[in-house]
Structures are given as C-alpha cells and as structure tokens.
Structure 1
Amino acid sequence: MAEFLLSKLAESAVSHTVQRISDLLIHEASSLRSVREDVVLLQNELRSLQGFVKDADSKQEHDQRLRELVHQVKDVASEAEDVIDTHILKVTSSYIKAFHNKRIRPQVNSLRSRIHSIINTSMQIYGFKSVIEEGNSSMVELQRYFRRSSPNDDDGDNDDVMVSLKGSINALTAELTKEEDRLCIVSVVGMGGLGKTTLAKKVYNGVKPHFDCSAWVFISQKYVVRDVLIDISTQLDSPNEDMNFEIIKSGWEIVNALTEHELIDLLRHKLKEKRFLVVLDDIWTIVAWDFLKRAFPKGKKGSKVLFTTRNREVATYGDPWSSPIEPPFLTLEESWELLRRKAFPRDIVGERCCPPEYENLGKEMAKKCGGLPLAVVVLGGLLKAKNSLDQWKKVLQDVNSHVNKLQSRQQYEGVNEILLLSYHDLPYNLKPCFLYLGNFPEDYEIPKRKLVRLWIGEGFISTSTRADIKQTLGEAAEGYLEELVDRCMVMVDRSDRTGKKTCCMHDLMRDVCTLKAKEETFAQIIQQHESNKSIDISAASSLQVGSSSHSRRLVIHPGCDLHCNTQQTCTFFGKHVKNASWMEQVHANLRTLLCLGGSLSLSALNSSNFRMLRVLELCVAGGSKIPRGVGNLIHLRYLCINSSSKTAINLPSSLGNLRNLQTLDLGRCNLAGPVRMISRMIHLRRLILPHVSDEKWNFDWSDVGIDELKDIETLKRIPASVLIRYDALNKLTNLRKLQIYFDGNNIHDDIIRVLRSPIVESGCLRSLCMRMPSNHVFPSLESLSSCHSLTRIGLIGKISEGMHSIISITVTKLTLLDSQLEQDPMPVLEKLPNLRFLFVGRNAYVGSRMDCSADGFPRLEFLGLYD
C-alpha cells in the first residue's frame, strides 16, 4: 500500500508548496520583486504537477512503477520551497540583492525542467494505461473482496463477540422495530474493528420477520451503484421452492439488462407498498448515499435503512433526526472473557476450560488490545493454536506485531489492515494532519487549540475559496479536526474546568499513525531510552527510493538531556552510535523543532541550520536568555516559549523581525521588560500572553501599538487599557476570541467601551472572557444578550444583576467565577438550548440552594461546581 500512500502525500506536498508560494508572493513582494515572474512561472508549473499527481492517484491505487515518480514529485516540491525561502532569507540579510537574483534564476529553471520531465515523460515511462488495467488485482482490492460481509456469514461462535453488545443490541432492535410514518435511516457508527457489522448482523437476523422484505449489501470505499442496485433487487426477489432454475436465470438476465435509472424505478416500485429493511454495510461517503437514496421510497410505516459506517457525518446526513448507535469498547473484564472464549474451545460438556496459570498472561494480553473487539478476536484465534505456557509467553512479548499480522482467514484479518482503510480514505489534506498526532508521546494529552495552531504553522490548513464563506485559518483547522473526529480516528475530550479540550487516539489507531509517519520519515523523534541513560532518535529506516535520512521535523520528547555539549549513546535507525547528540539531526532545511519537555540550550538557535524554521517550541531553563539570533528566523510562523521556573524572561527586541509570525504563545512563561516588539509582528493572528495575578504585569506595555495587528484573531490576557489607548477596539475587526483584563481608574467606562465597540457589535466575535479586579462590580451586561455570535462567555468578577438579562441563547460554554450572585442562576441557565459546558465556581453563587428541573439543560455535557 506504500505507493498509494506516497501518491496521496505527494499531492499534499505539491498543494502545500503552491499555497506557500502564493503566500510568499503576497507577503514577501519586496524580496521577490525582481524574480516575481520566475516564481509565478514555477508556481504555474507546480499547479500542473498537482493536477497530474491527482489524476494519476484517481486512476490507480498503487504500482511499483509509481514509487520513483512520487518521490520525484515530493522532492521537487520540497526543493522549490527551499529555493524560494533561502532566497528571501539571503536577500533580507544582504545588501547585494542582484547577486542573489542571479543565483535563483538557474535554480528555478532547473526545477521547471524537472517538472516538465515528470509531466511529459512519466506517462510513457510508467505506463499508467496498463496500471489501470492491472489495478483490480491489487492487494487492496483483494482485501476489499475478502471483507465483503453477508448476514449469513459464519463467524464461528457469534455469541462470543456479543459479550459487550447487549445494550447496543437492545437499542438497535428498538430503533429498527419502531414504527414511524417516514423512511428512517438508522446508523451504527464507530472506528474499524469495533463490532459494527457484527452488531448489525445479529440484530438484522433477529428482526427480519418484522419486515415484509429485506436485503443486506456491502458498500465499502469502491462501490458501483449499478452492482449495489442489482444486489438489492435480487435479494428482494428471494426465490421460493416453486421456482425452477430457468425462471430464476431469466429473472437475472432481465435485471442485468436494465439501465441504472430503470433499476432505481424497479426498486422503488418493489418497495413502495412494503415495510422493508435494507442494510448498507460499510458505507463511507455522503456521495454514496446520495446516489443510492433515489431507490428508496417512503414504503409502509416502519420501513428502515440501516447504515454501518466509520463516519459520523454520513450518519447525520442520512437522517438528522436519528441518533447514531456506537458500540462501546470492551472493558478489561469483557476483553479477557472474549479472549478466553476464543482461545479455549468448548470441552466435552460444553464449557470452556482455561487453566489458571494462563489467566494472568491472558489478561495482560487482553489489556494491550485496548478494548477493540477485532484485536481480541485476532489474538484469540492466534492463541487457539498455542498449546503451551511458553508459547503464550512468547506471544505476550510482542502482542502488537502478532495482532497486526495479516492472517490467512478472513475473520482474523490483521487489525492494522482494517484500520488502514480509514487512513487511505482520508482526503490528501487531512493525511499530514493525522500523521502529526504521531509526533506526541503515547498517552500525551494534546491540547486541541495547540494542535490546530501547529497545523496552521506547518502550512497544512487552507481556507474555503467560496465567496459565501468567510473562514479564518483557525476555523478551517477546527473543521479539519472535526472531520478526523467524525471519521472515528481521533477522540476529543475536556480535561479540566477551563473547558480545554485534548485530543487522543486509540492505542491501535496510534500504532497505524506512527507506522505511516515512520514510512514517510514524517518526523524524527528524540525520546528517552528505556535505560534512562541515553536517548533514541527514531525515524523510518526507509527503503523508498529517494528517501532522505533527515526529516524536516525534529520532535523532542520529555525526559531528554539536550544541552549542546551533551554526548550520549544514541540510536540512529536501529544502530547505536556513540558520542552522538541531537544536534546531529539538525540540518539546513529543518522546518520544525518541537521541544515537548526538558530544557534546551538556547545558544544552539544561533546556528544557521535553524534559519528555515517555521515552527518552534522550546522550554527555557531558569535564568536563560533568549538569544538575539531568534530574530533571524524570519520564516517562523509559530513560536511557543515555555519556562521551567518563575524567573522572568526578557524578550529580545530582534523578535520584532519575525514578520511572518502567526502564533506567539507566551502563556506558560513569566515575562519582564518591554514587549513593544510585538507590534512589529504585523501578520500575527494569535497572541497568548502570560497569566497575571491581581492584574499586575511584570512587563512593560508602553509603546505597544496593538492596533497595528490588523490580522489578529485571538488575543488572550490583554489589558483593556492597551486596547483603548490605541483605539484598537475600532481597528481589530478580525478578532474572534478576546480574553481581556480590566485595570486602571476608569474600569466602568472601559467595560462600556468594550461592549459597545465594533469588535463586539459586528457579530464576528465568537468568544469573550472578561476579568474584573476583586474590588469592582460589572456594570450592566445586558448588551451581551443580543450578541448572537458569541458562543463562549467567561465572566470573572462580581455581577450585580440576574442572569436573565445577560446570556444569549446561542452560548455553548459559560464560566462564572467570583460573581457573588444572590439569586439562583439555574432557572435561567437551564433554559439555554445550546449550553454544553457550564462551570460555576469560587463564590459565583453565595446563596444556599440551587434548583434544576428534570427537563433543564437539554444539551449539557460538562457541569463543574466548585467552592
């Protein structure tokens, strides 16, 4: 499957480069003025290459002959970025611009020649025509064939797999037998291997007598509408005992001769007067349902279509009025029970015998399956053939490799192969976003906001080009994450009272992620070695033609000693190398350095090998100084500085040179000194400032022209006086999220200015958090009730009025602290139709009793009551 993956990532690489060049032509116009024509021509050539790769990808899935092609495509796209970024860097830091202009032209012409070569000759060299003809015999097609489901498949002891599905069986049975006067679409949703088809099969066979007719068809990613329609039609005409072979054969010939439109009319005619049940097993896309739904009339009362799908969006689109059923993961006890049943056959009296000495080993292996039924079944089938305790111990040593192997029998198909289907189905723009999750350590809580900012910094996100949609990069990035969640590949949960959301993956889905990331040398990971005395530097020892030993991303996990002069025994591609340091993995084209833990010797950042960085996160040790050299990293889009101590850090004035910076995250450090250089970061979109106590800042806000940040979308922990001083409330019209502290002597007037400002009244603001000093009271907040664009509100400070005149019905998240409300807020809050998150704490209510009605809070997911 590697070639199919490569073609997708090649398309992603080219698309990313085209977008990057477009941005540079706008934001670096002066640096590129003399070579603009050359760069535009290169951009157009890359667009042609983008279309070529997309066309090739749509016509085949994989072939050995594509390996070299897709590497050439990725290489030329990456080199195009390097050439232009290097030119901008040198022109910016040099007075002899003409010299650099002469150097870039031959480089651009060389790249264009290579692109022409790929486009003009690869069709002949790689013979795509024959690839199309031969593609049906690919491994992926064989997998799809063997995965085809039928309600009559013999799964062995089907009751074994039902070990945890009793609740889901009852819920699904109730939905399918409910008689509503409309065509209902019922969905079973979940990640691959969760037991969706097994659940549907069990219920389907149980409820068939309730319907006049029924059919079960397997859809999958590669479906042919005509074949699906014929399959449904022939199942509805189940032959009876009186029909001879000639009649059956004649019926088949008639159906096969019909056009697609005639087949749809035939099905509608057959179903319109019947109560029917049709199962569409493994449906992946909305497009598939749009094609097929034309064949389904309303039917008799109680007619149903049942989906099994990995995509919640498909389920919701099919029937917005029906709630999908999601089978739960197995508990450890359920996993062990299922594994025991699969590993040990029934004895003579019909019971399974499990020797006690096997139980602890079995439970340990069951735990590693992460509650995924498919993984437990695969493992049980393997253990069934192991007859000794020593053999079980050998399996335990590397459970994952055994579970992921592709077995010879259909029901024991490798878990990775099942989960990889979800990965291959991703559109090209989501693939790098998914792979990025593999950069983080196992069990690491990945903040959702941080993740989307990193995606933006990497250049993975593009906004909608539709004229009727005005979308920020942040909103587009959140849409990308929601799509991964809808596809059951990523899970999002809230971790604390602030409502901060964190992302995680099922352990086996993470295995797929890291496997593919390694195959693509997506990032090189430096992590603490098991001995705790050395570090591992892990990446793919790839056999792919043209692959490089160096990735453009370097990620440092917690626990590593990373000072420049540290020489340790490291592991490079599986080989131990003495006296090696993490700096050996730094190279001139490095784009990302993520230090997720431990402190970094900042003097390393003066190295010219960091000049091309776009994403930088680092942890500053106590007493360290941020070197002026950071200001030379003019390509930076994302900068996050964390501090491991309370010692204050001064920002160098050279930081103002970071004119391409989009995210500056200083939320976890203590600042001192002037911060006026921030106003020179004219393309800044997200500014996260440190927490302050008692509204006292250690850093100097003077001469910070905050109004210059015209693109700013997120401002966190900004003093109101700074916004008002520079009339920023009238100028920063792109603001979507504002967290503001009120200070000074005119707090009452300042709040009124904020609430009546264009950034609030324009309807663009989505999130507003206001914090008052402890000795002040909020004036009237009635204007908030008419701000229907606000979905998240935080109020920290005393509120003198009731809640009924404050909160808009559109709010989804509400935090109240220090409000000192005397009137019970619940009768008002419980009526908010969209409220999902509510935190009431720290003397927000000073009464003695709160009452909620049984029908209140219809959509609440999180409730926090504190102090």
Structure 2
Amino acid sequence: MAEAVVSITLETIRNLLVEEAKFYFGVRSEVQAIQQELQRMRSFLKDADSKQDADERVHNWVSQVREAAYDIEDNVLVFVAAKVASRRSRISRNVFRKMDCYIKEMVTTYRVGSQISDIKSRISGITTSLQTYGIRSITDPGEGTAMRNARIFDLRRSYSHVVEEDFVGFEEDIKMLVAHLIDEQKDRVISIYGMGGLGKTTIARKLYIHRDVRRHFDGFAWTCISQQWDKKDVLQGILIKLIPEKRGEILGMRDEELVKQLHDVQLKKKCLVVVDDIWSGQAWESLKPAFPNTRTGEGSKILLTTRNKEVASFVDPSGFLYEPRCLSNEESWGLLRKKAFPRREDDIAEFKIDPDMEILGKEMVGRCCGLPLAIIVLGGLLITKHTLRDWQMVHENINWYLAKGRGHGQQQAVTDVLAFSYHDLPYQFKQCFLYFANFPEDFEIEAEKLYQFWLAEVNVKETAGGFKNCCLHDLMRDLCITKAKEENFTRVIDFRRESYASSNTTRRVSVYLDHNVTNYPVSCNEYHHIRSAFFYASDCKRDFLQRMKSHLSSFKLLRVLDLQGFHCPEELPKAIGDLIHLRYLSLSYSKFKKLPLSLGKLIYLQTLDLEMDTEVEIPNVIWKMERLKHLYLPVKFLTGDGKLRLDGLSELETLVNFSTSLCDVKDLDGLINLRKLRAAINDKLDDLPNIIKYISFTQNHLRRSSLSISCPQFCSDAELSLLRTLLASALDEDPMATLEKLPKLSSLTLYESTYVGEKMVCLTKGFPRLLYLKLWGLSNLKTWRIDEGAMPKLSRLVIAGCDKLEMLPDGLKFVTTLQKLNVRWMPDGFKDRLRTLDGEGEDFYKVRLVPDIKLD
C-alpha cells in the first residue's frame, strides 16, 4: 500500500507542478528534490510490500515511508490552498485584506519549504536501512504499467460478472431444498448454516429464483441482517417487497404497525421471506413477532442463512437444517477451471489446459480446502495469468504465503487465500479495494459513484463497466476492514454502535449518525489532514451541521465530502467554499433549503451530486467549475438569476436532471465531452428540436441519453418518435409502430393515459435493443400481439393495472431472453392462466422458460 501512497503523491505533485506552476515560487527546488527521492524509493516498495507480513521490521519501514509521503502531500496541498486564497485576495478592493493574505502567503511558503526539507532528511534516513532489511529495487519490465493494470482490471470485471452462473456440486442439494420449500406439510423454516465461504448465500439465491419456487409462492422478499442492522429498515424492506402497492403507507408506519402488518400478510398469502446472514438469536427475537409461528394460513415459509448452527436451531428447533458440504477435489478443480478460463471454456468446446498448468492448478486448489469462496478468489487471481511461468510464480508465492503458519483449518484457508489475492493486486487497486471500508456493512454501492470516489482520491483513469451496483461478501469486508486498519487507511466512528478505531493520523473517516447523536463526532485538531469524510445521517438532529460550520474550513485537504441523509431546512454552510481541494461533493438524500454562493470557489471539483429530496435554491456559479466531470442536479430547484448556466463545463461527462425550464438548451453545445444525459421537457415543447439535434448529432461523445416529456400535446410524429416516456399523452393510435423502429431504445415505459387504444402490435425485428418494457395502467388495452423475432433482447417485462388485457401474447414464447416477468394488480383470471394449479395454467407455456416470474 505504501507504493500506492507514494505513487499517488508523485502524481499529485506532478499534476500541480504542471497545472499551477506559478504557485511554486519559493519552494520549487525543495518539491522537485523530494519528487526525485520518492521516485527512487518507489522502485523498492514493490518488494517491501510483499515482505512486510513476514517481517515486522519491514512492516515498520513501509509504514514510515507511507506516512512520509502523506506528510509531503499534506504540505504541498496546504501550500496550494494558501496560494489560491492569495490569488483571490488580489481582486479585492480592501487593502488590509490584500496585505493580510500576502503576509500569510509568505509565512506559509517559509513553513512549507522548511517542513519539506525536514521530510527529505527523514526519507534519506529511512533509505539508509534498505540494505539492512534486504529490500531490493523492482521495476516492471515489458508492457507499460498502466496498460497492464487496465487489462487486469478489465479481466477481473468480466470474471466477477459471472460468479453466480458457475455453480458446481450442489445440483442434487438444490432439488432437495426446493422440495422442502414447496411442500406445505413440511418445515416452516429451512436454515442453511455453516462457516463463511461455503456458498450459503449463493445457494439461497438459487432457491429464491428457482422456477418451481417462483410458481409456488405468491410473494417474495429478501433481507440481509448481518452484525449491524436496523429493525425498522428490515421490516419496511420486507413489507414493501411483499405488498409494493402500499409502499407509501408502509414508510409511515410505526414499529408495532409494521410487525402486525408483516405478520398478517404472511397469513393472507403464500410468502417466502429470505433472512440472509443472521448472526444472533437476539436479532431473531426482535423480529420473531412479525412472523407466524404456525403452519396455518397460506403456507408462508422462511429461508434462513447463518454461520451459527445454534442460531438456526433457536429460530425454529423443529425446522430443517442444511449445512453445505465442501467441494470434492474434482468439483474444486472444475470450479477453478470455470473461473480461471471462463472465455476459453465457453468459446472452445474441446479446450485443453496445459498439463503442467493443470498439475499446478490442482495443487493450488487443494489449499482451498473445498471452500467455494476461496476457489473463486483463486480463480480471479489466475484469470490474469496466461502462461505456465505465470502459474509457476503464483504457485511458488501462494505456497510460501500459506506456509507461514498464519493458522489452520478451513476458515483460515479462506482468509489466507483472500489475503494473498489482495497482496497480488496492483498498487492502485489496493487502494480501490480498501476504499470499501468507508461504506456500512451490506451497503449497496452504486458502481458509478464508486468510480467517482476513486477518481477523486486514487486517480484511477478509467474502468470497465458492466454492472450498476456492488456489495462486499462479509468475509471480503472483514479482510478489507483488517487491511484498512493495518494500513491506517480509514477510521469508522459509529455513534449507533461500538466502532473500531485507528490512530489519529488516518486520512479518511466515516461517521454514522442518528437522532440520538448530540455531541460533535470529529475533533478538527485531530482530523485536519483527512482526505475523505463520509457522513451517514438517519434523522440526524438539525444542530449537527450548525456545529460543524465552524470546523469545515479546518479540513482544507478534503477531496471527498459525502453528506447523506441530512434534513436541514437552512443553507449549506458557506465554509464549504474553503475546501479548495475538494474533488467530490455529494448531498444526496439530504434536504437543504439553499446552497451558498461560495460553492463557486471549488475550482478542482470533479463530481457534484445534488440529487436531494426537496426543492433547493442553487446559486448560478456551477459554470465556474471548469474541471467538473459529473453533475447530478435536483429534480426540483430554483435559481435566483434566470436559468442555471452550464456553459464552460467542457470536461463534463455526466449530466443528470437537465430541465429545459431551468437550464438553457444552448449550453449543451459547449459540453463537448458529455457521455450521459438525462433530460426533461416540461409544459412547453419549444426546446424539443434543439434537444433532438443534440442527441442526434453523430460527432458528439454521447453514449447514453434519456428524455422525459410531460406535456398535454405533441407537435408532430417526428417529435413523438424520440420520446422515452409518454406521460399522459392519450394517444389513440398504437405507439409501438413508431417506437419499435428506434434502433437504440433500451428501456420503454408506457404509463396510464399514454395510450388509450385497445390493440397493440409488436412486429418482427421491432425493438432490436429493448431490454426493459413496462406497461402500467393502460386501462383500455385488450389485445397484444408479438410476432416472432420482435424484441430479441428483452430481459424484463412488467405488466401492471392493465385490467382489460385478456391474456399474454402467444408470441412471448419466442422471446427466449426474458429473465423476469412481473405481473401486478391484474385480474385473478389473468394471473390464474399463468399459475400451475393442479397442472399448468392456460398461458404458462408462453413463459415456461422464464426463471423469475412474480405474480402480485
């Protein structure tokens, strides 16, 4: 990890030297000298990082280098902040203010120059011990580091994308468990228990989406308990999944109302509730009143996973207990093959592995003790190794690593393989991994936002796409937390529960708050050097940010500030503008009445997330943020100065909630690097031609765009053909004839009053790229025809509230890509045609290949 810190420090210095060369008058020679020293030291760190677990002296040496690099970056950033403040003061008419800033600048220049000289001497002393510890210089031969790392990252993305599909060794177990679930005379609770890494959650997911299980139950809900959980959140989450039509009502219920409602709904209809990763009997005791304790009613059941057999027995002493076995040697090797050679095994039916590689692979997989998670991680490591020599290197290193006496037994095998995989990561991806320690347990992380965090701090240039959200396996998170503590990477302050702590020199902090927090959680004297601050608020007291106002300006090195869930009717503190190095600012899920004018001072900002829950007043200063790459506007906002200006944002790549009533369409022409646009036209169609022109322009970089129009009328068929959402348009002619010709349309929703006709037809070759289709509240629709060859990529279909629709179209049987079918609030007769009651329903043959069918 020290290699990562040194490398990022060097990049920070290099970027600032290039972008702000004029700032360095007075300290340039010191900065350049220490830059050269760090570059020389970096070549030794790869070897040192690999040895530090085995040698405490090397571990201490690496820690000293890491902290020295942090201290250098601290001083450089403080120096730049002082220069920026001085430059701004020069435009002031106040002579005393100019003089004051000039004096502060001179003092800062002297102090920074002196401190950098001291750190250089410190590093020289550290360097003299290299030979003592047997640390040698290592450089990367062959292909460039950036290119190699990008290739590795891409391969690992594709590997992680198919984890669930490579299922080995439990086919008969799945059949047995399905039989228990759908037999209403058998156990009310089925528990899957065993050590971490056995694949408990994977098996539960296979059962959850199993075709026979989906046909049997009427309602489905999945919740994860883990070690830290909130009873109200869990109950609300389960209820919303079981009765989604009452979402608004559920969110306003008290605890006792939630308990009774959840209890009653499981008596009224046949429900399957998965309670994943429950750790204690105490947790179940709290939830128990919400679940019927009898087999009466509609046959609802609970599927539970836990590491602790005693917990499973406590939940239901007479329930069915199942412990997944470890994989056999043959099954283990089969799973490793799928993970290490996913593309080759799929593409070449008779693909053969080099015999010598197979010998090495079988020896390595034997160290995994038959645990699926350990094998999957090892496969993820080997997927980047393509030659026999590569495999020999991994074989030698993993044997050395696992033979150090770190522990014994199956659980230790998982831990050691995970840790070895971490050490094999390229240096910048180690920081990417440790960044997960900033998020709460079982927190679903948006991949797009995660990349923006990395962009702000780790300087990752570009990553491969392919998924929307991610979440860490609990064992992987344990490793992440452990390594984050060892590397002094982050500190978590959880005022709801007991938290772990590291030294006060940590550069990142995550604070969890709730309505009971009354004291200020972070001392500015201890944390003035932090780079990232995450605040997770849940009904937090309003005075928290008031107290924070006087401290914000102390955190001048902040690059990431994430304020989630704050309900503050006043203005965001003006001191936010003093955080000159801020790269990422998020106010998502928060409520602020007004944002300060000082926001325009954040000249280095790359991501600004203002997707708040209420209307907010935004000052017209965003156009000043020339480095901004990602902008998320609120759905509703005000500007005190006409329309919000966005001209000048030439580096902008993401623009969400662009509204023609609040922003100027002409500004889009200057956004030459925009890749994602989510726009809306309300009330008037005057700006539609310009929006169409921009989206259609072939020379721009736009990859994803969506346009929402809410107007009582439409002007022409040409304009209509570009609509993604047709809210309240009251069309009497079938819109599919026009919409199915759009070559890149991937998602289509037709809401109530969109189409008032009775017949709908989807022709052959229509909707070539449509993935998602929702028909919602089309009250007059009676017949729907799908020709063979239409919608060849459709993955999800939702039909809700179309009361007169007689049946599913026969042509749906040709849509073999369909994975999910949700039928909501439809007449019982329509749903009965899809059920398997004493045999198959009349329409079931049309969707018999769909793995996930939900009838609400």
* SS of corresponding position for 2:386: helix
> CA 1:858–1:168 in structure 2 vs 1: closer, same or farther (change >3 Å)?
farther
Are the aligned partners of 2:418 and 2:479 in contact in 1 as well (CA < 8 Å)? yes
Report the TM-score when normalising by structure 2.
0.57
Partner of 2:576: 630
Where do 1:437-836 residues align within 5 Å?
437-457=436-456, 459-463=457-461, 476-477=462-463, 479=465, 501-530=468-497, 536-540=498-502, 548-559=503-514, 561-564=516-519, 581-583=521-523, 586-598=526-538, 599=540, 600-607=544-551, 608-618=553-563, 619-642=565-588, 649-692=593-636, 697-700=637-640, 702=642, 704-720=644-660, 724=664, 727-743=666-682, 745=684, 747-748=685-686, 750-757=687-694, 760-777=697-714, 779-780=716-717, 798=729, 802=736, 809-810=743-744, 812-815=746-749, 817=751, 820-821=754-755, 827=762, 835-836=770-771
- TM-superposed CA distance for 1:550, in Å, is 3.7
Where do 1:230-249 residues align within 5 Å?
none
Structure 2: distance between partners of 1:34 and 1:783: 62
Are the aligned partners of 1:820 and 1:846 in contact in 2 as well (CA < 8 Å)? no
Are the aligned partners of 1:817 and 1:844 in contact in 2 as well (CA < 8 Å)? yes
> CA 1:454–1:233 in structure 2 vs 1: closer, same or farther (change >3 Å)?
closer
Structure 1: distance between partners of 2:428 and 2:385: 21
Are the aligned partners of 2:495 and 2:511 in contact in 1 as well (CA < 8 Å)? no
Where do 1:247-396 residues align within 5 Å?
282=379, 284-286=381-383, 288-291=385-388
Are the aligned partners of 1:767 and 1:793 in contact in 2 as well (CA < 8 Å)? no
> CA 1:620–1:290 in structure 2 vs 1: closer, same or farther (change >3 Å)?
same
CA deviation map 1:196-215 (0-9, x unaligned): 9936705989xxxxxxxxxx
- TM-superposed CA distance for 1:525, in Å, is 1.3
CA deviation map 1:142-199 (0-9, x unaligned): xxxxxxxxxxxxxxxxxxx955566799xxxxxxxxxxxxxxxxxxxxx965599936
Counterpart of 2:493 in structure 1: which amino acid?
Answer: I
- TM-superposed CA distance for 1:637, in Å, is 1.1
CA deviation map 1:819-849 (0-9, x unaligned): 825597773698656544x142545796333
Are the aligned partners of 1:736 and 1:764 in contact in 2 as well (CA < 8 Å)? yes
Where do 1:57-456 residues align within 5 Å?
57=49, 62-93=54-85, 94-96=101-103, 97-119=105-127, 121-128=128-135, 194=199, 198=327, 201-202=330-331, 228=357, 282=379, 284-286=381-383, 288-291=385-388, 408=408, 413-456=412-455
> CA 1:818–1:83 in structure 2 vs 1: closer, same or farther (change >3 Å)?
farther
- TM-superposed CA distance for 1:659, in Å, is 0.9
Are the aligned partners of 1:193 and 1:419 in contact in 2 as well (CA < 8 Å)? no
Are the aligned partners of 1:193 and 1:418 in contact in 2 as well (CA < 8 Å)? no
Partner of 1:467: none
> CA 1:823–1:612 in structure 2 vs 1: closer, same or farther (change >3 Å)?
farther
> CA 1:130–1:773 in structure 2 vs 1: closer, same or farther (change >3 Å)?
closer
Report the TM-score when normalising by structure 1.
0.56
- TM-superposed CA distance for 1:79, in Å, is 0.8
* SS of corresponding position for 2:627: coil
Structure 1: distance between partners of 2:4 and 2:778: 49
Structure 1: distance between partners of 2:132 and 2:715: 73
Structure 2: distance between partners of 1:46 and 1:759: 49
Counterpart of 2:511 in structure 1: which amino acid?
Answer: I
Partner of 1:16: 8
Structure 2: distance between partners of 1:37 and 1:845: 75
Counterpart of 2:111 in structure 1: which amino acid?
Answer: R
Counterpart of 1:198 in structure 2: which amino acid?
Answer: L
Counterpart of 2:501 in structure 1: which amino acid?
Answer: A
CA deviation map 1:377-403 (0-9, x unaligned): xxxxxxxxxxxxxxxxxxxxxxxxxxx
Gaps of at least 5 residues in structure 1 are 1-8, 132-160, 170-190, 206-223, 235-279, 295-307, 310-404, 464-475, 483-491, 493-500, 531-535, 541-547, 566-580, 786-791
Counterpart of 1:22 in structure 2: which amino acid?
Answer: R
Structure 2: distance between partners of 1:477 and 1:848: 46
- TM-superposed CA distance for 1:855, in Å, is 6.7
Structure 2: distance between partners of 1:729 and 1:796: 25
Counterpart of 1:126 in structure 2: which amino acid?
Answer: Y
Counterpart of 1:125 in structure 2: which amino acid?
Answer: T
> CA 1:644–1:730 in structure 2 vs 1: closer, same or farther (change >3 Å)?
closer
Partner of 2:846: none
Are the aligned partners of 1:830 and 1:856 in contact in 2 as well (CA < 8 Å)? yes
CA deviation map 1:113-155 (0-9, x unaligned): 4444444x23322123799xxxxxxxxxxxxxxxxxxxxxxxx
Structure 1: distance between partners of 2:639 and 2:677: 20
Partner of 1:840: 774
* SS of corresponding position for 2:530: coil
Partner of 1:213: none
Structure 1: distance between partners of 2:434 and 2:642: 43
- TM-superposed CA distance for 1:794, in Å, is 6.4
Structure 2: distance between partners of 1:555 and 1:863: 39
Are the aligned partners of 2:761 and 2:784 in contact in 1 as well (CA < 8 Å)? yes
- TM-superposed CA distance for 1:778, in Å, is 6.9
> CA 1:462–1:36 in structure 2 vs 1: closer, same or farther (change >3 Å)?
farther
> CA 1:756–1:57 in structure 2 vs 1: closer, same or farther (change >3 Å)?
same
Moved more, 9-18 or 758-767: 758-767
Q: What is the percentage of aligned positions where both structures have the same residue?
A: 29
Query: Does 2:778 match 1:849?
Result: no
Counterpart of 1:654 in structure 2: which amino acid?
Answer: S
* SS of corresponding position for 1:710: coil
Partner of 1:347: none
Are the aligned partners of 1:770 and 1:795 in contact in 2 as well (CA < 8 Å)? no
- TM-superposed CA distance for 1:52, in Å, is 2.6
Structure 2: distance between partners of 1:550 and 1:60: 20
RMSD: 4.4
Counterpart of 2:112 in structure 1: which amino acid?
Answer: I
CA deviation map 1:43-66 (0-9, x unaligned): 343233223313545789743331
Are the aligned partners of 1:755 and 1:783 in contact in 2 as well (CA < 8 Å)? no
Structure 1: distance between partners of 2:492 and 2:362: 54
Gaps of at least 5 residues in structure 2 are 86-100, 139-167, 177-195, 200-323, 335-352, 364-376, 396-404, 802-856
